[in-house]
Amino acid sequence: MKFSASDAETLKLIQMWRRDVRHFKTDAVPEDILERLRAAMDTAPSVGNARPWRVIRVENPTLRRDIRSAFESCNEQAAGSYEPERQDAYRSLKLAGLDAAPVQLAIFTAIDPDAGHRLGRRTMPATLHQSVAMAIHALWLTARAENLGLGMVSILDPARMQTLLNVGPAWEFAAYLCIGWPEFTDDTPLLHRKGWQENRSTVWEVL
Q: Comparing C-alpha atoms, which of 164, 127, 137 is closest to residue 37? A: 137
| pLDDT at residue 84, as a whole number | 83
Does the pLDDT value for residue 189 go beyond 90? Answer: no
Does the pLDDT value for residue 190 go beyond 80? Answer: no
Residue 43: Cβ-neighbour burial (10 angstroms; 0-12, 13-18, 19+):
exposed
| CA atoms within 13 Å, Cβ hemisphere of 188 | 8
Domains of the chain are 19-193 (3.40.109.10)
pTM to 2 decimal places? 0.90
Residue at 130: amino acid letter? Q
**What residues have CB less than 8 Å from 146, skipping those under 6 apart?**
33, 36, 37
pLDDT in tens, 79-130: 888 888 788 787 887 778 899 999 999 999 999 899 888 888 889 989 999 9
**What residues have CB less than 8 Å from 129, skipping those under 6 apart?**
109, 172, 174
pLDDT band at 191 (very low <50, low <70, confident <90, very high): low
Cβ atoms within 10 A of the Cβ of 53, count? 27
Does the pLDDT value for residue 10 go beyond 70? Answer: yes
pLDDT in tens, 166-187: 999 999 999 999 999 999 877 7
Cβ atoms within 10 A of the Cβ of 44, count? 17
Bridge partners (DSSP) of residue 152 are 177
